[in-house]
Chains A and B, each alone.
Chain A
Amino acid sequence: MQHDDAIWDLIGNDNFCSYKVKTKTQQFCRNEYNVTGLCDRSSCPLANSQYATVREEKGLCYLYVKVIERAAFPAHMWEKVKLDRNYAKALEQIDENLIYWPRFIQHKCKQRLTKITQYLIRIRKLTLKRQRKLVPLSRKVERREKRREEKALIAAQLENAIEKELLDRLKQGTYGDIYNFPIHAFDKAMEKQEEETESEEEEDEEEESGTREFVAEDEFEESDLSDFEDMNNLKGSSDEEEDDEEESGEEEESEEELEEEKTKAKSKGKAPLKGPIRKKRAYVEIEYEQETEPAQKSKAI
């Protein structure tokens, strides 16, 4: 036994040791060969000639035994014994390597081995579960995206777009008879539209779903014989158009779906129209006052 007490006197309780970490209530030892991690007379690797630890490297546990005869050669002072992967066998190995050693060190080594195996098991379990992947954000990109989003929001004019879309749906009559508005004004509003449409299934659907009266009143207001022809043509053409619907080859019954698909394909701001009517009738806008001069009822092109 080599000057253990002397060494402990020098580095011990209130003295300086470079591995010592002091907290309010306790002292810890940062020495890598320390079994318990506390700064203690029996746990200090420097102040004990007979000492052993268990350490783990890359998933394997090793028993480190201090050979005090080689104190002059610190690099070779610790002997490394590879322990078995099996926990029980490793315990037996510790027992046989540290036979006749003080019980304290044997016990602490076994405790340390237990803790190490437990956390190794936990690591293996966690790696099997889903790992959270952290994706780095580039600040410049985030700022750029934010700015672009703001600009896009301003350009979108959402309220206007939504209102327009709703009014268009009202005009097509997708709402059926729920809303009853005077027809003059309705016609006037329709005349004022001048955009092209891309799909014309709506009319067919309207008529089928019982809003024929509404539409028919429109026609009747004109009370032009030619208009009646056109109405027939309209029906015929909208039958044809059913075939080349934008979205799906199958016939869809719901107006809702059609609208959705139609609006999907539509670019912003364009209102769907009763296409065939528009195409067939090439009237010139003359007047759109209240007095319904049926013969001169005009429609926009």
Chain B
Amino acid sequence: MLYSDKRGKTKKVKRKVKPDEAPVQEMDQAEGEETEKKSVSGPCFPPTFSVSEIKNKQRRHAMFLKLKEEKRKQKLELKKKKKKERKALGDQAPPKEVPKTIENQRIYDETTVNPEDEEVAFDEGTDEFSAYFSRLTNPKVLITTSDRPRGRTVRFCEQLATVIPHAHVYYRRGLALKRVIPQCVSRGFTYVMVINEDRKVPNGLVLCHLPDGPTAHFKVSNVRLRKEMKRRGKDPTEHVPEVILNNFSTRLGHSIGRLFAALFPHDPQFVGRQVATFHNQRDFIFFRFHRYIFKNEKKVGIQELGPRFTLKLRSLQKGTFDSKFGEYEWVHKRHEMDSSRRKFHL
């Protein structure tokens, strides 16, 4: 009685069309075995039955697989039907449904910038970067690390310095940032970049725009140095690269985008065919450095050169670096901001 119970019960139910609970024990074993070969179809189950109620693991697994197959079949049938209908209707067919993606479902951020927004345009004309964008200043970047950097961080700094033109790497030697900054200002630097290190791996980046510019603190992850890149090209040359900034849509995104843009000199040298990309996707900023070549006007080949890393903004501070008394424009608060999967801030 016990053997064919589980397997048989579904068949029994099918034969008897009983709305009872699954473990019905009174049936004959013989009948159960006869009907075992028949395939089970979904709609014959009693409403309260579920696959997870079968105690035997193998049988439960088998039932589950069957269930899955049925579902797949049904789905295929549905698809076929729909396709037929579309064909039949031809032009009048309703438009294809667009699949939902996280980008589609993104919660609308009220600070999203409208391209024609004059207020934004005015703000950006008068903010800290206006000097750069009106070509009054040329960027000059100072790259340094936290205390006692390890090899990987040092190499990363060097590679960054080759990617960003007019960049100089200096050793930190235990200096306080607050004292470094006025010195940099006096020497004409426009940016200070501090790469923080933890356990021999760079994990943070503080980007400070110098004559009282905003300071952005990022979390760095997935750093790949040049020799770890597959199929990479030769080292970058001294030409000024182009810059691509993608997907910076909100006000905050705009300011961060301008922060990145002002790192590079104004006029890219197209001869060098190098491009640095900052691509924002779901609040992660991916940095890539490529060399491109146009094969014809419809195809371009790109080859990755320099280091790659991802950034995630942790805080944006109004003045220069001052962790205690600074005025923070934006801080990533985990409990408030990470609660929704569809909400992004950049």
Contacts and interface: CB of A to CB of B under 8 A. Distances in A.
Does A pair with B? yes
Interface of A: 129-130, 132, 141, 144-146, 148-149, 151-153, 155-156, 158-159, 161-163, 165-167, 169-171, 175-176, 178-179, 181-182, 185-186, 189, 198-199, 244-250, 252-254, 256-257, 259-261, 263-268
Nearest to B240: A256
Contact of B296 (A166, A175, A185, A246): A185
Given A161-B277, A163-B302, A246-B121, 19 more contacts: A129-B174, A145-B219, A149-B310, A153-B281, A153-B284, A156-B281, A162-B277, A166-B275, A166-B300, A167-B300, A181-B296, A185-B296, A244-B118, A252-B134, A254-B135, A256-B243, A263-B246, A264-B248, A265-B113
Contacts of A175: 270
Contacts of A266: 246
A253 B134 CA distance: 9
Interface stretch (B55-63, B71-79, B122-130, B162-170): B122-130
B244 A149 contact: no
15 contacts: A155-B102, A158-B279, A161-B279, A167-B297, A169-B242, A178-B271, A185-B297, A185-B298, A199-B115, A250-B133, A256-B243, A256-B268, A259-B242, A264-B246, A265-B249
A257 B266 contact: yes
A255 to B, nearest CB: 9
A248 B300 contact: no
Contacts of B277: 158, 161-162, 165
A247 B134 CA distance: 11
Given A166-B275, A247-B124, A252-B133, A198 B115 contact: yes
Pairs of residues from A and B, 8 with the lowest C-beta to C-beta distance, nearest first? A249-B125, A156-B281, A181-B297, A152-B282, A264-B257, A248-B125, A198-B115, A152-B281
A161 B246 contact: yes
A154 to B, nearest CB: 9
B103 interface: yes
Q: Is chain B's interface secondary structure helix, strand, loop, or mixed overall?
A: mixed
B247 interface: yes
B267 A254 contact: yes
A148 B282 contact: yes
A268 B121 contact: no
B157 interface: no
A149 B221 contact: yes
Contact of A153 (B245, B253, B286): B286
Contact of B286 (A141, A156, A182, A260): A156
Contacts of B135: 253-254
A249 B121 contact: yes
Interface of B: 101-103, 113, 115-118, 120-122, 124-125, 130, 133-135, 147, 174, 176, 219, 221-222, 242-249, 253-254, 257-258, 261, 266-268, 270-271, 275, 277, 279, 281-284, 286, 288, 290, 292, 294, 296-298, 300, 302, 310, 312, 334, 338
A13 B109 CA distance: 78
A176 B222 CA distance: 36
A258 to B, nearest CB: 10
Contact of B221 (A146, A182, A198, A257): A146
Contacts of A244: 116, 118, 121
B69 to A, nearest CB: 29
Nearest to A183: B297
B268 A250 contact: no
A155 B282 CA distance: 9
A149 B133 CA distance: 31
Nearest to B288: A158
A230 to B, nearest CB: 22
Contacts of A162: 244, 275, 277, 279, 288, 290, 292, 302
Given A260-B243, A267-B249, A155 B103 contact: yes
A125 to B, nearest CB: 13
Contacts of B279: 156, 158, 161-162
Contacts of B282: 148, 151-152, 155
B294 A254 contact: no
Contacts of B134: 248, 250, 252
A256 B120 contact: no
Nearest to A185: B297
B244, B248, B297, B298 — which one has the most chain A CB atoms within 10 A of its CB? B297
Contacts of B338: 141, 144
